[in-house]
Chain A
Amino acid sequence: DTGVSQNPRHKITKRGQNVTFRCDPISEHNRLYWYRQTLGQGPEFLTYFQNEAQLEKSRLLSDRFSAERPKGSFSTLEIQRTEQGDSAMYLCASSSSGTKEGYTFGSGTRLTVV
């Protein structure tokens, strides 16, 4: 297992377009998180899955954002009608319930909306 994988690493899109990011967590981890990070700030929580169930969504996650985790494996984060304010690094993390281990983060997808 090579850790948490995110694709693509970089995405440039025009305002108004839809984009989708993918996250492949560590295979034995049942918990998956999405975060957003802008320059100079720490990561901000967006949403959390335990297996295939989306248990919480941040108020930061507007109606244009949707995340899925079918079958409790990989996850996708879609942003519809992108805006320039959506430009950020989108980070995925996974962890295993029942342990004290910290999260394992992926390298992120950097989105630039032009």
Chain B
Amino acid sequence: LAKTTQPISMDSYEGQEVNITCSHNNIATNDYITWYQQFPSQGPRFIIQGYKTKVTNEVASLFIPADRKSSTLSLPRVSLSDTAVYYCLVGEPRGSGGYQKVTFGIGTKLQVIP
């Protein structure tokens, strides 16, 4: 399983765009990059997943450069409710009879300031 490295914490003011970068130098060809959000006393919640280039949904954007050794989660115009821990994970979401044993790191604790 590819190891990921992301900042331990970040602060941002309300209304700003937040970019959280994750390094995954040993990403394998079949690996996808997935981001989860976790609030205190809740389980992680899936945010976005991608393989290459750019993926966008109603919550966030995920930017993945051509070498795929890093990825950036972009949260537009954050609000106080975006204060949470954000995890970057790398692994194969499916395979022929295989599965993805997801490994979480410590994550990035995002604090949104009024």
Contact = CB atoms under 8 A, between A and B. Distances in A.
Interface of A: 4, 31, 33, 35, 40-45, 48, 50, 55-56, 89, 91-93, 97-108, 110
Interface of B: 32, 34, 36, 41-46, 49, 85, 87, 93-94, 99, 101-107
Given A42-B107, A44-B104, A101-B46, 18 more contacts: A33-B102, A43-B104, A45-B101, A48-B99, A56-B101, A91-B44, A97-B94, A97-B99, A100-B32, A100-B94, A101-B93, A102-B36, A102-B49, A103-B102, A104-B46, A107-B41, A107-B42, A108-B42
A40 B8 CA distance: 10
Given A98-B94, A100-B93, A45 B43 contact: no
Residue among A44, A48, A105 with most chain B CB within 10 A: A105
A43 B106 contact: no
Contacts of A107: 41-43
A93 B43 contact: yes
A85 B85 CA distance: 23
A60 to B, nearest CB: 12
Nearest to A108: B43
13 contacts: A4-B43, A35-B104, A42-B106, A42-B107, A45-B102, A45-B103, A50-B99, A55-B99, A89-B41, A97-B94, A100-B93, A102-B46, A107-B41
Nearest to A40: B106
A51 B103 CA distance: 21
A92 B36 CA distance: 15
Nearest to A100: B93
B104 A102 contact: no
B47 to A, nearest CB: 8
A101 B102 CA distance: 13
Contacts of A91: 43-44
Given A31-B99, A43-B104, A44-B104, A105 B44 contact: yes
Nearest to A41: B106
